[in-house]
Structure 1
Amino acid sequence: MKTERAQQIYESKDTIAVHLEGKPVWIENVDEGNGMATVQVESNPLNTMTVSIDRLQEGKGYDA
């Protein structure tokens, strides 16, 4: 995913599916300068991680 798209998803009022290695994530913050995003993995607010934005995928993930 590109940094600009991650920022658009983060700012969107719509729910847009984003996956990290096939797991659904929720983007909590985008650091455009460093190309990193803080994400919540699945629906667990205690499971957050900071990852490179290029590791994120929009859509259904690897289930298709």
Structure 2
Amino acid sequence: MVGFKYIAEQIKDMERSGRGTFVFGFEESHGYLAGTYARDKDGVQAAALLAEAALYYQQVM
């Protein structure tokens, strides 16, 4: 199944059972979710992650 409602459901199951830690999720429509504070795709967070990655690769190249 695809969609953030299913990803959020898995986050809830992981928290409830105490097994595993959610780190990062994405779907085919290019939505991203890092962390558990929001349970839906977050465009601002995705832009920040992209900017952070660009800065990192600029420094190591």
Common fold by TM > 0.5? no
Q: Which has the higher helix share?
A: 2
Instruction: Name which structure has the greater RCO, CA cutoff 8 Å, separation 6+.
Output: 1
| TM-score interval, smaller chain | under 0.3
Q: Which has the higher strand share?
A: 1
User: Of the two, which has the highest radius of gyration?
Assistant: 2
